[in-house]
């Protein structure tokens, strides 16, 4: 029987790619993905699942509340900028390019997750908050979708979420000291119906073989594995 993993949308592409490997290694998994805030709310409301894969700070909070075993940091992902596929070419080589991109955007889309929080802080640090219209995507909706419906002309989110969207062109990671990196962790939930197999699944997710697969979906292994 497949284990149930509750995950944020950012890690869904990596877990989907890993599903065949996990099945062959004897740890089949069923994935339910949503906005990270909503997934954490479900866990706090008593959702029964075996494993959670979320932003590292969100899982650390659940662990402190006694709702998850000690998290293991698995992957990190760079926040990237993206525009519609048919948009004019845009440079993103340095901070001046980033400032120009933000200033000229007709709406700057971001997520409800850690990359969105970090982007808002970055806009404040750059002194651009008063001149930019920031648009937060609904929970569980990739920021890139707001490019497709015209709500925004540039989107910022983890590479794993933007790279797979049709009609969206990734410009690249944020340059220099404006770079935003988010860490993602996994933990066995205290409500896990099958905690033993769930711990086996966690060990597989942290394996080098799994890391190679996840890297193809924009999630790169963390070296220290600490929460």
Give average pLDDT by consecutive 10-residue segment, the chain, 227 residues: 92 93 92 92 96 96 98 94 92 96 96 88 94 90 89 93 87 95 96 95 95 92 61
> What is the reported pLDDT for 115?
87
> What is the reported pLDDT for 226?
44
Domain with 125 in it: what CATH number? 3.40.190.10
> Rounded to an integer, what is the distance from CA 127 to the centroid of its chain?
26
- Nearest 5°: CA angle at 204, between 51 and 218? 85
> What is the reported pLDDT for 227?
42
Q: Any idea which residue has 């908050």 for tokens?
A: 129
Q: What is the dihedral of CA 158, 164, 167, 169, to 10 degrees?
A: 50
In a domain, 226, yes or no: no
Tally the domains of the chain: 2
In a domain, 227, yes or no: no
Per the structure, the complete domain to which residue 132 belongs is given by: 77-178
In a domain, 26, yes or no: yes
Tell me the C-alpha distance between 127 and 102, whole Å.
11
Whether residues 112 and 174 fall in one domain = yes
Whether residues 107 and 168 fall in one domain = yes
Kindly tell me the sign of the dihedral angle through the C-alpha atoms of 92, 122, 86, 78.
positive
In a domain, 104, yes or no: yes
pTM: 0.86
């Amino acid at each position: 029987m497949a284990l149930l993993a509750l995950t944020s949308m950012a890690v869904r592409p990596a877990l989907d790619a890993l599903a065949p490997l996990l099945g062959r290694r004897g740890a089949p998994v069923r994935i339910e993905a949503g906005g990270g805030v909503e997934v954490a709310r479900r866990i706090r409301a008593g959702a029964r699942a075996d494993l959670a894969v979320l932003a590292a700070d969100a899982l650390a909070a659940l662990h402190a509340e006694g709702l998850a075993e000690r998290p293991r940091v698995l992957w990190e992902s760079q926040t990237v900028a993206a525009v519609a596929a048919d948009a004019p070419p845009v440079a993103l080589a340095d901070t001046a390019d980033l400032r120009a991109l933000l200033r000229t955007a007709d709406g700057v889309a971001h997520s409800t997750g850690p990359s969105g929080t970090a982007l808002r802080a970055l806009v404040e640090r750059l002194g651009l908050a008063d001149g930019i219209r920031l648009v937060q995507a609904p929970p569980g909706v990739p920021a890139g979708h707001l490019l497709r419906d015209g709500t925004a002309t540039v989107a910022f989110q983890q590479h794993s979420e933007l790279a797979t969207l049709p009609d969206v062109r990734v410009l690249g990671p944020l340059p220099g000291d404006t770079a935003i990196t988010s860490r993602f962790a996994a933990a066995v939930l205290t409500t896990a119906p099958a905690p033993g197999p769930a711990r086996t699944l966690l060990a597989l997710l942290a394996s080098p073989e799994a890391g190679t697969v996840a890297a193809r979906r924009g999630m790169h292994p963390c070296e220290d594995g600490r929460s």
